[in-house]
């Protein structure tokens, strides 16, 4: 049986950029529902003993497994999302929460500068019509940004997720209403654990 991954921080730890109310609702209600639904759907089937990643890959782009894929992919996506966040470091100056080492070099090689990367990431995220996700992924020795609709993700493409940001409306509406741009700015500059992303890139 799949279970809800435990958060590495308290529900209030991401404030003021993500409120305890939003995190409690998003993690405790939405994410938990995907876990519960997935367990119901795979129990007694050939997928019951597969890993989460194996289920996502096996069901990608197969309409007959759409319900299983939707729930498995959303469990996977949310696991990545929560794992790539951390409480904001109040001792770090503005603009100091950035990747280090090889990841920063790869970002600068692909996007010319850190500021250009932030602009392109936000632009792509804002262009995602309706629900979906935006990813920074490792592709060989380089990085690129992807957007995916609904629960789709880079796993089936053989790409390694470094950062995932949820742009479903429930991820930001309680705190930012329709201001997706403000939500993205807050997450990218304050809550993404760029040190962890840098380690994943190695």
Domain-located, residue 160: yes
CATH code for the domain in which residue 61 is found: 1.10.287.990
Domain-located, residue 60: yes
Residue 197 and residue 105 share a domain: yes
Per residue in 34-56, pLDDT (tens digit) is 999 999 999 999 999 999 999 99
Residue 160 and residue 70 share a domain: no
**CA 96/CA 8 separation, integer angstroms:** 22
Q: Which helix (H) or strand (E) holds 163?
A: strand 160-166
Report pTM: 0.95
Q: How far apart are the first and last CA of the chain?
A: 32
Q: Which domain holds residue 143?
A: 101-201
CATH code for the domain in which residue 131 is found: 3.55.40.20
Domain-located, residue 8: no
Domain-located, residue 15: no
Domain-located, residue 11: no
Low-confidence spans in the chain with pLDDT less than 50: none
Domain-located, residue 62: yes
Residue 25 and residue 117 share a domain: no
Q: Which of 51, 83, 115 is the last residue of a domain?
A: 83
Residue 145 CA: distances (Å) to CA of 12, 32, 63, 141, 196: 29, 27, 26, 14, 17
Residue 115 and residue 78 share a domain: no
Domain count of the fold of the chain? 2
């Amino acid at each position: 049986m799949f279970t809800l991954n435990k958060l590495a921080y308290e529900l209030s730890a991401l404030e003021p950029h993500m409120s305890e109310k939003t995190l409690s609702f998003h993690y405790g209600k939405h994410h938990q529902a995907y876990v519960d639904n997935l367990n119901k759907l795979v129990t007694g089937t050939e997928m019951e003993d597969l890993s989460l990643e194996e289920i996502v890959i096996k069901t990608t782009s197969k309409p007959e497994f759409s319900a299983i894929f939707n729930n498995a992919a959303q469990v996977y996506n949310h696991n990545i999302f929560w794992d790539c966040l951390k409480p904001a470091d109040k001792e770090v100056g503005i603009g100091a929460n950035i990747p280090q080492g090889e990841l920063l070099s790869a970002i600068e090689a692909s996007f010319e500068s850190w500021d250009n990367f932030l602009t392109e990431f936000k632009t792509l995220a804002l262009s995602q019509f309706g629900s979906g996700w935006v990813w920074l992924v490792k592709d060989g020795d380089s990085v690129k940004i992807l957007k995916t609709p609904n629960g789709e993700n880079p796993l089936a493409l053989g790409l390694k997720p470094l950062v995932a940001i949820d742009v479903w409306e429930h991820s930001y509406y309680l705190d930012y209403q329709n201001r997706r741009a403000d939500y993205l700015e807050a997450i990218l500059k304050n809550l993404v654990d760029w040190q962890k992303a840098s380690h994943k890139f190695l």
